[in-house]
Amino acid sequence: MVKIEIFGLGCENCERLESRVKAAVEQLGIDANIEKIEDFETFVRRGITATPGLAVDENIFSLGRVPSVDEIIGMLRKKSTSVPIPSGLGIPVVNPTCGCSTTGTMIYPCSGGSNVGQISNEAAKAMVVRGLGKFSCLAGVGAHGEVFIASAKKAGRIVVIDGCATRCAYKMLKHVGIEPTVGVVVTDLGIEKDYERLDPSPEDVRKTINLLEEKLDQN
């Protein structure tokens, strides 16, 4: 029997995920035990950084979104391919963010193709783990996706993490009429941009997080 766990706080997206999981199980005709988990301590222990979350046989496959029925069927067929959980930064989980939330703090890293771009991405993930905001999709904003832009405009605060002085993330948001509340540039911390080194050091990520926290405290 397949063990399926749905992590959520009872929001609309969590209910939608449960419905799609049941549809996928029915289509596959498999025996499955579907369990809904709403306990915060379990979220922390299992590394659930955003809800709704989906796990199959103890492996986490999805966080902060509602996969389609076809995606869930694929997950159930390939149970060994799970998504990684952010780790190794020594940062505790404080409060998972809900994937259907459109208020609060939205975090947009540039996620560029260099060490500083990847530092921005890791810092954003760590901020989510600490419960300081929701990791959002900059590419969706850049593609003028109405849903992504509307979500950004409803946010209480917009945090932008750019890798270098080109400030792609900042400019992309400004282009669609969104004024970031807080913005940091990783190279301003004295970290040199390197296109060959894509694995950011935990120390550089922590430096970026510290600067973000300082600026958030001021806003």
| pLDDT score for 103 | 55
Tell me what pLDDT residue 79 has.
62
Whether pTM exceeds 0.85:
no
Among 55, 53, 96, which Cα is nearest to 79's?
Answer: 55
**Residues forming beta bridges with residue 160, ordered by sequence position:** 108, 183
pLDDT in tens, the chain (219 residues): 899 999 887 777 888 999 999 999 999 999 999 999 987 678 777 877 777 889 998 888 888 888 899 989 988 887 644 444 444 333 344 445 554 444 588 899 999 999 999 999 989 888 877 778 887 788 888 888 887 888 888 888 999 999 999 999 999 999 999 999 999 999 999 999 998 888 888 889 889 988 988 888 887
pLDDT given at position 11: 73
Domains for the chain: give ranges and CATH numbers: 2-77 (3.40.30.10), 102-217 (3.40.50)
Distance (Å, rounded) from C-alpha 146 to C-alpha 191?
35
Backbone angles phi, psi at 184, to 5 degrees: -130, 150
Please tell me what DSSP assigns to residue 189.
G
pLDDT at 98: 52
Whose structure tokens read 């901020």? 127
- pLDDT at residue 178, as a whole number: 92
Strand, helix or coil for residue 59: strand
* Secondary structure element (H or E) that encloses residue 208, with its range: helix 202-217
Write down the catalytic residue from 14, 100, 110, 168: 14
List CB contacts of 90: < 8 A, sequence separation 6 or more: 202
Do 204 and 118 contact (CB within 8 A), yes or no? no
> The tokens of 39 are what?
């306990």
- Residue 100 annotated to the active site: no
Find, among 58, 61, 70, the residue nearest to 23 by Cα. 70
* Active-site residue flag, 14: yes
Non-local (6+) Cβ contacts of 35 within 8 A are 3, 4, 5, 6
C-alpha Rg value of the chain to the nearest Å: 18
Tokens of 166: 């080109």
Residues 18, 139: Cα–Cα separation, whole Å = 28
